[in-house]
Amino acid sequence: MSSKIIKIKKSYEFKKVYSNGKSVANQFVVMYYMENNLGFNRVGYSVSKKIGKSVVRNRVRRLLHESFRLLDIEIKTGFDIIFVARGKIVEADFHTLKNSMRKLIMKTPLYAGNER
């Protein structure tokens, strides 16, 4: 687990993961991921203006980030990961969102489980 989570911020980095990566989804979140050949993970969050006003979008972004921070120990290193919020996410509380993100991660090769 790294002490600081490195965020994906540039649009070309997002586009690279969208076009070359794989995705899994549930009712709250779509997760795109791809290997980055670095020794650490990078994460990005995308919350559309369809979700709500800026206060709601920023809250969703904070919930996604905190959920990822807590789940980071269960993820292998060397991946770029992007979480895209879906409309129903505003109805979800923190624990529901965290559990749904954990289930998405467990469906993918990112899940380290007890390996670490």
Q: Is residue 1 part of a domain?
A: no
Q: Is residue 72 part of a domain?
A: yes
Q: Is residue 113 part of a domain?
A: no
In order along the chain (116 residues), what is the average pLDDT of each group of 10 residues? 80 96 96 94 96 95 95 92 96 95 93 67
Q: Is residue 29 part of a domain?
A: yes
Both tokens assigned to 28: 């709250």
Report how many domains make up the chain. Answer: 1
pLDDT score recorded for residue 2: 47
Q: Is residue 67 part of a domain?
A: yes
Q: Is residue 116 part of a domain?
A: no
Domain harbouring 68, CATH code: 3.30.230.10
pLDDT score recorded for residue 116: 47
Q: Is residue 27 part of a domain?
A: yes
Q: In three state form, how does the secondary structure of 30-57 look?
A: EEEEEECCCCCCEEEEECCCCCCCHHHH
Both tokens assigned to 2: 């790294």
State the residue range of the domain holding 52: 6-106
pLDDT score recorded for residue 114: 54
Single pTM value for the model: 0.92
